[in-house]
Amino acid sequence: MTTIRQPWKRLEGKVQPWHRDRLAAVYVRQSTAGQVKDHQESTRLQYALVERAVTLGWPASRVLVIDEDLGHSASGVDARPGFQRLVSEVGLDHVGVVLGIEMSRLARTGREWHQLLELCALSGALLADPDGVYDPVDHNDRLLLGLKGTISEAELHLIKQRMWSGRLAKARRGELVVALPVGYVRRPSGEAVLDPDEQVQAVVRLVFDLFDRLGTINAVLCYLADNNIQLGVRLREGPERGELQWRRPSRAGVQNMLRHPAYAGIYAYGRSRIDPRRRQAGRPYTGRVRAEREDWYVYLPGLLPAYISVERYERNMQRMDANRARAESIGVVRDGPALLAGLVACGRCGKKMSVRYQRGAGGKLHPAYVCGSDKTTFATGQCQQLAGDCVDEHVTVLLLAAMAPAAVEVSLAAAEQVQAQRAQVDQIWRQRLERAEFAVDRARRQYQLAEPENRLVVRQLEKDWETAMGERQRLKEEYDRFLAVRPRTLSAAEREQIRALAADVPGIWHAPTTSDADRKQLIRHLVEKVHIKVIGTSEKVKVQVTWAGGHRSESETVRPVACLTQLSYYPQLITRAQELVNAGMNAGQIADRLNAEGLRPPKRSKTFTKNAVRDLLRSLGIQRSRTPARQARPDLDEHEWWLRDLAEHLQMSEVTLDAWVRRGWATGYLHPQAGLRIVHADPAEVEHLRTLHQVPRGQHNRRPWMNNQAINMTDEPEGETGDETEPQV
């Protein structure tokens, strides 16, 4: 008679009575729900460990079965509630022995395995499998357990490596089945084809056409939403798998469509990676990061049916990358008034110039182009800065001149584009109506084929028929409203209007209905880059425009500067002003002559006026001879001044002093006969006005500079109107 030796019998010496006073924990686990369903023998073997625990001396009532991890893998970072419960029971000294069918069932990672070993050693718990019982405190057993855990971890690595190699080899042949985007279906043979539904294909093509014309994902999404256009999605799971479902478009959906290479006929694999640092517990699809094009595992063009060409796909990717708000890209078109935002580069260092806005009179924003990256990065000086209006106006003139010869072609292209776009949208609406008509016809046939006596079925079929007819009626009404707003074809009047507008491109450009975003979009179609360089600190600016196609044109414009000395013709202005004064001209005549000769003050938006000429002469130290009319002025009382004389005495602008009188900062009145303003100012008041004039610009409204009789000056801030502001000279 043959005796079968039980390995549990010879190892009973390691099991002490105090072990049996604790629980015997049986850990049951299988990696996936499919294994639990298909490999039930493994499940029975693990539950049979309860009998093994009884054989080792534990009462059946003291055996704890932990099976919460059935269907949970031990190799990933996902939480395993059963394993966490086992660790807690061991840490609380509740467990005398842990039984498993094999050590790999406990943990596939070294971290979790050695954590369990340490806890068992600290609490005195044993570990057992079909090969024997192990004491983690014993050196030999600890060595054997460590080796078993290492082999288990290496086994998992080999399994994964073999599976990955096979998967990658199949993908390199283009045979690996991957998820298809909207607009594709997979036949039972495994072949990927275009969706047989014509409306699904029409919507996909419309999305790519809209992006070519509009240029941004947000604009495409808004157009789809405004026209009530939905995307046809094939369900990938559930009882209705493969059925077509219409969903409203989303930003992520449109972006994924434009980025997916399958639409260009490219079979790609490995476009994303899993970053364990970004994974979230309970969310298996998180932690994905997009890989660069050169890091894709497989790239096989021409393997799938295409909606667009590969070149068009590459252009879309470049355009989306350029729309991102980064230093090296032009960024997406925004609503600010800076027409060259994103296109301007510094002519000195070559870096991209940023845009800053300053709010002027009436709340209008004035842009300025600034090259200050080195100042921000290295705390060095600012490279250059200039007002943006002058550059925008200069490039606009060049742009309109370049577009003038193509006005007729522009009108024809615009008409064709509008016509094609309306035809696409109308086709999608007609397909929706056709689909609704088919649904009504099918519901009618189902109702007619049912037996009239079977009222339980007939009543439901009648409701379905009525619902389908209601949906058809609703779509027809929406289609009628759509045609009322956007007819299918252009009328003769609309075509003539397009031709007239194209012939008057400057009129379209400056029309109030043309937004800054529209102007920027047009500029970006024709201009690739604008390099600007300020010559020294003068008003001259060199502008180099790089047009679409690579042609470059160089020109020069002027900018506003802060003071007279920055003007490149400052010496000429001094000489000419002296000559005109010596010729006996008054301020108005001098202003007219300077403007006629093309000389301008520092603020380029203005021309010389009489007051500006007086300030200019005063700043240059040029004295005009007194006219007889001025010498024949009436006599004044004590401490009274003619406004012009007091302004010259204080070395300030007459305009500013006149504004102070009208604001109540100084006391004055109009002379009844001479019609000139007289200011009452004793010596103390003269010194007060002199002190007030020395206050930095923008700080006059602060009370410490005012006397006790001054009123609140914040009601009318200085510089609110251009004629009342003292020019900087």
Pairing of strands 126-129, 132-134: antiparallel
Average pLDDT over residues 377-388: 80
Instruction: Give the separation between CA 542 and CA 535, rounded to whole angstroms.
Output: 7
Instruction: Give the separation between CA 573 and CA 242, rounded to whole angstroms.
Output: 81
| Assigned domain for 386 exists | yes
Instruction: Give the separation between CA 540 and CA 570, rounded to whole angstroms.
Output: 13
pLDDT for 729 equals 29
CATH of the domain at 237: 3.90.1750.20
* Phi, then psi, of 368 in degrees rounded to 5: -140, 135
| Assigned domain for 627 exists | no
* Phi, then psi, of 674 in degrees rounded to 5: -75, -25
- Give the residue from 709, 692, 713 showing the smallest Cα distance to 701: 713
List all residues 6 or more positions away from 424 whose beta carbon is below 8 Å from its beta carbon.
202, 205, 206, 209
Same domain, 373 and 477: yes
Most confident range (mean pLDDT) of 74-83, 200-209, 487-496 is: 200-209
Neighbour count for residue 264 (Cβ, 10 Å):
22
CATH of the domain at 698: 1.10.1660
Residues annotated as catalytic (active site), given as ranges:
31
Same domain, 642 and 615: no
Same domain, 400 and 522: yes
- What's the mean pLDDT when you consider all of the chain? 80
Domain count, the chain: 5
Per-residue pLDDT band at 499 (split at 50, 70, 90): low
Lowest mean pLDDT among 253-262, 456-465, 584-593, 695-704: 695-704
- Give the residue from 224, 223, 214, 222 showing the smallest Cα distance to 182: 224
Checking if the pLDDT of 606 tops 80, the result is: no
Same domain, 198 and 284: yes
CA triple 383-386-392, angle to 5 deg:
130
Three-class DSSP category at 534 = strand
The DSSP secondary structure of 179-247, one letter per residue, reads ---TTEEE-TTS-EEE-S-HHHHHHHHHHHHHHHHH-SHHHHHHHHHHTT--EEEE--SSTTTT-EEEE
Instruction: Give the separation between CA 345 and CA 351, rounded to whole angstroms.
Output: 6
Checking if the pLDDT of 720 tops 60, the result is: no
* Paired tokens of 118: 């340490």
Per-residue pLDDT band at 704 (split at 50, 70, 90): very low
Instruction: Give the separation between CA 25 and CA 116, rounded to whole angstroms.
Output: 13
Strand partners of residue 669? 678
pLDDT for 260 equals 93
Neighbour count for residue 516 (Cβ, 10 Å):
16
pLDDT for 5 equals 40
Residue 550 burial by Cβ neighbours in a 10 Å radius (0-12, 13-18, 19+): exposed
pLDDT for 708 equals 40
Same domain, 126 and 246: no
Per-residue pLDDT band at 1 (split at 50, 70, 90): very low
**Which is more confidently placed, 386 or 379?**
386
Pairing of strands 344-346, 527-534: parallel
* Paired tokens of 492: 């003769």
Distances (CA, A) of 700 to 496, 562, 695, 717, 728: 58, 20, 7, 9, 16
pLDDT for 727 equals 33
| Assigned domain for 328 exists | no
**Which is more confidently placed, 268 or 690?**
268
Strand partners of residue 95? 23
Q: Radius of gyration (Cα) for the chain, nearest Å?
A: 42
| Assigned domain for 538 exists | yes
pLDDT for 279 equals 64
Per-residue pLDDT band at 604 (split at 50, 70, 90): low
- Domain C-terminal end among 508, 533, 559: 559
Same domain, 532 and 582: no
pLDDT for 353 equals 87
Q: Express as a percent the part of the chain with pLDDT over 90.
A: 13
What is the residue type of 562? A
The DSSP secondary structure of 60-126, one letter per residue, reads GGGEEEEEEEET--SSSSS--HHHHHHHHHHHTT-EEEEE-SSGGGT-SSHHHHHHHHHHHHHHT-E
The DSSP secondary structure of 119-133, one letter per residue, reads HHHHHT-EEEETTEE
Checking if the pLDDT of 219 tops 90, the result is: no
* Phi, then psi, of 431 in degrees rounded to 5: -65, -35
Same domain, 467 and 524: yes
Same domain, 238 and 142: no
What is the residue type of 34? G
| Assigned domain for 625 exists | no
Alpha carbon 684 to its chain centroid, in Å, reads: 62
pLDDT in tens, 545-574: 988 777 888 888 888 887 777 888 888 888
Per-residue pLDDT band at 671 (split at 50, 70, 90): confident
Average pLDDT over residues 20-29: 91
Per-residue pLDDT band at 515 (split at 50, 70, 90): confident
pLDDT for 242 equals 86
Checking if the pLDDT of 192 tops 60, the result is: yes
| Assigned domain for 480 exists | yes
* Paired tokens of 601: 């003050």
* Paired tokens of 510: 């400056």
Lowest mean pLDDT among 237-246, 262-271, 314-323, 395-404: 395-404
Lowest mean pLDDT among 122-136, 361-375, 507-521, 708-722: 708-722
Instruction: Give the separation between CA 202 and CA 9, rounded to whole angstroms.
Output: 75
Residue 666: half-sphere exposure toward Cβ, Cα within 13 Å: 32
pLDDT for 414 equals 58
Per-residue pLDDT band at 159 (split at 50, 70, 90): confident
Per-residue pLDDT band at 410 (split at 50, 70, 90): low
122-137: string of b/e by CB count within 10 Å (b at 16+)? Answer: ebbbbbbbeeebbbbe
Instruction: Give the separation between CA 493 and CA 555, rounded to whole angstroms.
Output: 40
Q: CA dihedral in degrees (345, 335, 316, 255; nearest 10)?
A: 130
**Run of H or E residues at 265:** none
Same domain, 318 and 338: no
Lowest mean pLDDT among 123-132, 404-413, 720-729: 720-729
CATH of the domain at 136: 3.40.50.1390
- Domain C-terminal end among 279, 305, 323: 323
Three-class DSSP category at 454 = coil
List all residues 6 or more positions away from 715 whose beta carbon is below 8 Å from its beta carbon.
none
Checking if the pLDDT of 629 tops 60, the result is: no
Per-residue pLDDT band at 75 (split at 50, 70, 90): low
**How many residues does the structure list for the chain?**
729
**Which is more confidently placed, 233 or 280?**
233
Average pLDDT over residues 92-113: 81
Global pTM reads 0.59
**Which is more confidently placed, 320 or 498?**
320
pLDDT for 22 equals 92
pLDDT for 584 equals 77
pLDDT for 623 equals 67
Same domain, 654 and 612: no
Average pLDDT over residues 474-478: 86
Token pair 């030796």: residue = 5
What is the residue type of 457? V
Domain ranges, residue 650 = 634-724
| Assigned domain for 365 exists | yes
Strand partners of residue 127? 98, 134
Confirm if 215 and 333 have CB atoms less than 8 A apart.
Answer: yes
Same domain, 149 and 214: no
Confirm if 232 and 245 have CB atoms less than 8 A apart.
Answer: yes
Residue 670 burial by Cβ neighbours in a 10 Å radius (0-12, 13-18, 19+): exposed
* Paired tokens of 69: 């991890």
**Which is more confidently placed, 454 or 541?**
541
- Give the residue from 539, 594, 586, 543 showing the smallest Cα distance to 562: 539
Same domain, 301 and 362: no
- Domain C-terminal end among 301, 323, 345: 323
Lowest mean pLDDT among 76-90, 320-334, 425-439, 578-592: 320-334
Per-residue pLDDT band at 462 (split at 50, 70, 90): confident
Lowest mean pLDDT among 60-74, 212-226, 438-452, 691-705: 691-705
| Assigned domain for 179 exists | no
